[in-house]
Amino acid sequence: MKHLKLYEEYSVEESQYTRLADTDAQEEAIANIEKWIKKMGKRLVGGTPMPEVPSPATTILDLTHNGSEIYINTDGEIEVGGEPVSDFESFKAAVEEVLKRD
């Protein structure tokens, strides 16, 4: 049996959340979010692709049970609580604000 080497060319490690991505840009953004969440001492509690026709879909990640706080568009743009974020500092501030509301 021939063994195939899969995903060698990808620098993003697959996780349960990166598997929700429809595009490479989403997968990379989700990997960054996972690093940022870990750096904050927090964790994601769920996620789902939001069905869209035609595909690809926006991916939604939850900080709280069914919270839908984080949206990742197909081009990798991230929104937390409806606010666009582009780096760790803006992500951290948006997450803290969203969690403060709950």
Element (H, E) at 58: strand 58-62
What whole-number percentage of the chain has pLDDT above 70?
81
Three-class DSSP category at 50: strand
Q: Which residues of the chain have pLDDT under 50?
A: 1-12
Three-class DSSP category at 36: helix
Q: What is the mean pLDDT of the chain?
A: 85
Q: What is the pLDDT of residue 56?
A: 74
Distance CA 71, CA 29 (A): 10
Q: What is the pLDDT of residue 5?
A: 47
Cβ atoms of 80 and 98 within 8 Å: the answer is yes
Q: What is the pLDDT of residue 57?
A: 83
pLDDT tens, residue by residue, 50-65: 877 566 789 999 999 9
C-alpha distance from residue 43 to each of 7, 29, 38, 64 (Å): 25, 16, 6, 9
